[in-house]
Amino acid sequence: MVRAAVLPAVGAPLEITGIELPEPGPGRVRVALAAAGVCHSDLSLSDGTMRVPVPAVLGHEGAGTVVAVGEGVTHVAPGDGVVLNWAPSCGSCHACVRGEVWLCVNALNGAGEVHARRADDGSELHPGLNVAAFAEETVVPAGCVLPAPAGVPLTDAALLGCAVLTGYGAVHHAARVREGESVAVFGAGGVGLAALQAARIAGASRIVAVDVSPRKEELARRAGATDYVVASENTAREIRALTDKQGVDVAIECVGRATTIRTAWESTRRGGRTTVVGIGGKDQQVTFNALELFHWGRTLSGCVYGNSDPARDLPVLAAHVREGRLDLGALVTERITLDGIPAAFDNVIAGRGGRALVVF
Ligand SMILES: [Zn+2]
Ligand SMILES: [Zn+2]
């Protein structure tokens, strides 16, 4: 038996309880978690914004050590450090063949499988977003484990699995920020802070962080923000004032709300680009009139998992970490235990802090 954070039903509070994992069968890997980050998407699963089969073990941003491998697994062995990848690509669907592995249509096929059983009553549990990282140990498909990069502590490496791949990818792959461009990042949670660091790595000239909380300024500046704006109805005007009345070249929206998406778009210059990273609900309707779409000539695009290919991008991110350009510690606002996850969810709801990291 291992301890895990289980979502019993959509809208119900998380339960910290014992689970029984199966032995790793063919093509599966058992991992002892070193750390797992608490991501806003876990909350989106728990409140039903994103739907997955429940009851489920949540947690999708983690790293740990391989305990055992099933038949046919050759790319990792017991004792190896690994980073969990919650969106394994199949390699053969239309998206994968095009090289857009982040759009793989089969990435979440595993969500309906039986992952483990509750230790108390033997009932079936599903694996949230494939990897069920809010647990002392997990058993995952081989495609969900990537060898951990050398020179990055495993606890820090957990963050690479979602926040950093997403935030860095939004800046480098989706928005393609170029040296000298100005960037505004909306939302200073884990992904937003990673996006700020990515903008700094890209050589952005002016990096504006926007958040509803005035308390995140220090975190944001440490991540590379040159300016900090507390979100209000004047946000777009304030950002234009910082950029010769033009607006930024690029806005990265990490919140997923209609008003923030609209403000991000309005904060860019004519011809500017807005990338939406935040995952919002169906009730979040964003409206534009036809004349303004023409007049401003702006681009608005979505982005999935930072449009990243984890196998390709992890070594790049690790090099940034080793060479001091990417500070993973600067993303973490608190280190907690498994029992601290429900309270960390409350902090996410309240918009406090960056990333809570569960350390096992
Ligand atoms: Zn996530
Ligand atoms: Zn695919």
**Ligand found nearest the CA of 162:** 1
> What CATH code is assigned to 2-161+327-359?
3.90.180.10
State in Å: Cα 40 to ligand 1 middle: 6
Residue type, 132: A
Q: What is the pLDDT of residue 352?
A: 75
Q: What is the pLDDT of residue 110?
A: 87
State in Å: Cα 41 to ligand 1 middle: 5
State in Å: Cα 95 to ligand 2 middle: 6
Tell me how far the alpha carbon of residue 252 is from its chain's centroid: 14
pLDDT band at 323 (very low <50, low <70, confident <90, very high): very high
**Ligand found nearest the CA of 107:** 2
Measured between alpha carbons, how far is residue 169 from residues 59, 92, 194 in Å? 20, 23, 9
Q: In whole numbers, what is the pLDDT of the chain averaged over residues?
A: 95
> What CATH code is assigned to 167-303?
3.40.50.720
Per-residue pLDDT of 270-322, as tens digits, reads 999 999 999 998 999 999 999 999 999 999 999 999 999 999 999 999 999 99
Q: What is the pLDDT of residue 349?
A: 82
State in Å: Cα 282 to ligand 1 middle: 19
Q: Helix (H, G, I), strand (E, B), or coil: what is residue 64?
A: strand
- Tell the burial category of 243 from Cβ atoms under 10 Å away from its Cβ (0-12, 13-18, 19+): buried
Of the candidates 160, 13, 167, which has an alpha carbon nearest to the alpha carbon of residue 83? 160
State in Å: Cα 280 to ligand 1 middle: 13
Say how many Å lie between the first and final Cα of the chain, rounded.
15
Does residue 348 have a pLDDT over 90? Answer: no
State in Å: Cα 101 to ligand 2 middle: 6
Per-residue pLDDT of 196-222, as tens digits, reads 999 999 999 999 999 999 999 999 999
State in Å: Cα 48 to ligand 1 middle: 15
Q: What is the pLDDT of residue 347?
A: 85
Q: What is the pLDDT of residue 351?
A: 75
State in Å: Cα 278 to ligand 2 middle: 23
**Ligand found nearest the CA of 96:** 2
How many residues in total does the chain contain?
A: 360
**CB neighbourhood size of 160 (10 A):** 29
**Ligand found nearest the CA of 189:** 1
76 in the Ramachandran plot: left (φ > 0), alpha (ψ -120 to 50) or beta?
Answer: beta
Residue type, 323: E
State in Å: Cα 349 to ligand 1 middle: 15
- Residues less than 5 Å from ion ligand 1, measured at CB: 39, 41, 162
Per-residue pLDDT of 141-173, as tens digits, reads 999 999 999 999 999 999 999 999 999 999 999
Mean pLDDT of the 221-228 span: 97
Q: What is the pLDDT of residue 354?
A: 75
Task: Give the C-alpha separation, 86 to 62, whole Å.
Answer: 9
Per-residue pLDDT of 3-14, as tens digits, reads 999 999 999 999
Q: What is the pLDDT of residue 211?
A: 96
Taking the domains of the chain in order of start, what are their residue ranges? Answer: 2-161+327-359, 167-303
The upper half-sphere exposure of residue 250, i.e. CA atoms within 13 Å in the direction of its Cβ, equals 31
State in Å: Cα 191 to ligand 1 middle: 8
Per-residue pLDDT of 34-91, as tens digits, reads 999 999 889 999 998 888 899 999 999 999 999 999 999 999 999 999 999 999 999 9
